[in-house]
Structures are given as structure tokens and as C-alpha cells.
A and B are shown apart, each in its own frame.
Chain A
């Protein structure tokens, strides 16, 4: 009976947030995600196996397609929690192990599309989030043909951003950078651009943005994300 009550509590605290426009689906198990006090920590290796099992289940349930994940680009993070016993020092420990896998089509990552699984330190699933559209091969079987080399586009990116550090990311479907489905469907050469400035003799890095160059024409205007707001007034706080 107690188990049934506990189970009912658990069920009552599951919520799923959906943003259909962004294809953003976040499922959170509140009973697990709100657990800050458990002493157990299964460790990163065990957490990874919980993540693998979750991906397997999602895939077999057709909630995600395993071949639409760039598992080779899996990134792992840890969500930490800080705590202090009365009068004692501040101690931080792992709350959740986060595993983020970019979405991919034919091995090319979809910029902005990813599936993230959060494994609580107790070894239970805390949340699953997936962002990004479902992709298929175009019905008309049209092709993208590269006419501009990656080296030429790297040179172009550096030339167009002389006062910035330009980091080459490789090919990406620029889904997040455009609302135009036709543009999103063709992979582009992606770069992260980090503006650099000298302030009082020190190098200062500005907020980074991303540029996406067409591989099909050297004079095609790049996609830029996020776009600067010319009316922005900055932070007015003193």
C-alpha cells in the first residue's frame, strides 16, 4: 500500500513541457529532480549506462531515431549543487549527470537540435529533453553539391571577421539559424566567431555568434545566428 502511494506521488510529479514551434519537449520527473538530499552517487560510469539504456528505450519506442543522433559528438556535463552544514564549509557535489547528443542527418549535425538526458546521482532518470525537427531525405531527391572548399570558406570567414577568433565547426544543417525550411535543409560550413578587443592592454572576448557559409556558391550571403539587435541599448544598470 505504501509502495502504491509512493508510486502515485511519483506519477503525480511527472510533467511534460512542449513547445511545438521549436519541437522542444521536456519531460521532468519531479520526485527525482527535486531530490537534493540523497547521499548516494552512482558515479559517471554507471550514469552513462543509465543514459545508454534510456536512449535504447527511446529508440525502440520510436520516440527518437538512433541513426539521427551524432553519438560520436556526445558531450557530458555535471550539474552541481552547493551545500553547507551549519557553521561548516561550502561543499559542492554532483546533482545530475547530463548527457547531450546532437541530432544529425546522414552524419551531419543539425545546429540547435539535440537530445539531453539528465541522470540523477541516485541513478534514476531526472529529465529527458529533445529539441529539433524530424528530418528525412527530400522527396524530390535533389542534391547539394559542394563547389567551394572548406579551406576557402575558412579563409573567407577569417577575412570577414578580422578582429575575431574564428573557430571552424565543420558542416551543419543551420536549422536554428533560419526559419526557412529550404535553407535549413542544405548543410553549410559553420564557424563560431568570437569578437576580440583590447581594453587597457588586456584582451577581452565579446559574445560569440555563429556564421554559416553556403558550400554551393562563394558569393552567397552567410546566415548569422543570433542576429544583433540594432536597437539594443545594453544593460542600463550601474
Chain B
């Protein structure tokens, strides 16, 4: 009987610990999802009839080439990190490509595609 009681107590202790762990996990999840709650709060106004929201303005259409260059080189840098930036300072960029020195060295239209589609690579 005593053994059973001890086992029961041990079981309760485990359950208590498990509850604590679950509670801690719930709090962590709540903290992790707090940005979503902020978003939900922002959406809330338009969920009611009569509520209003400012109209958005989308930048639709082809992006200017300079912006494309800037974004493409930025993404490439993020992808490969610091190591590549050091290397890039040593890269000689052929002037005919018109590329940003030390950044992306090739820029060519893909065959059969419009000018707005292009591929660039690091030299």
C-alpha cells in the first residue's frame, strides 16, 4: 500500500512538472505570437460594418532597372554573407557589363524572354 502511495505521489509530481512545462510552453508561444496579435488588432476595425481602412497603393508594373540592381545585389550579399564581401573587393568587374563595381558582374537577358526578365550572377 505504501509503495502504491509513493508511486502515486511520484506520478502526481511528474504530472505537476509536466503542467509547469506546458504552462511555460504556452507562455513562450504567447510571447512568440505577440506580433500576430498586433496584426489581428490592426485588422479588427475592418471586420465590422461601417469601419474604414486607408486604401493601399501598390507599386505595380516593371521596377526601374537601378532598383532591380540594388535589390539583386543586396539579396546576393545576404545569401552569402561577409565572406563574399571581402572577396568582392578583389573582383575586377568588366566595364562592358555596366555592373556595380565589386557587386554583381554579369547581367544578361534570358533567351526568349522579355527584357524585364533577367539573370545576374557573381563573377
Contact = CB atoms under 8 A, between A and B. Distances in A.
Residue among B56, B57, B74, B123 with the highest chain A CB neighbour number at 10 A: B56
Contact of A184 (B37, B42, B60, B68): B60
Task: Give the contact-size bracket for chain A.
Answer: 35 or more
Interface residues of B, number: 55
A187 B53 contact: yes
Contact of A16 (B36, B51, B75): B75
Interface in A180-238: 181, 184-187, 215
B83 A147 contact: no
Contact of A63 (B49, B57, B74): B74
B87 A11 contact: yes
B111 interface: no
Nearest to B83: A7
Given A7-B87, A128-B78, A128-B79, A184 B55 contact: no
A94 interface: no
A152 B37 CA distance: 25
A11 B46 contact: no
Interface in A93-134: 104-108, 110, 125, 127-128, 130, 133-134
Contacts of B74: 61, 63
A14 B46 CA distance: 43
B58 A133 contact: yes
Contacts of B1: none
Interface stretch (B2-10, B16-24, B92-100, B112-120): B112-120
17 contacts: A8-B87, A14-B80, A15-B119, A16-B119, A18-B120, A27-B79, A28-B79, A72-B39, A106-B42, A127-B79, A135-B58, A135-B59, A136-B57, A137-B56, A143-B54, A184-B56, A184-B58
Interface of B: 33, 35-43, 46-63, 68, 71-80, 83-84, 86-88, 91, 104, 114, 116-123
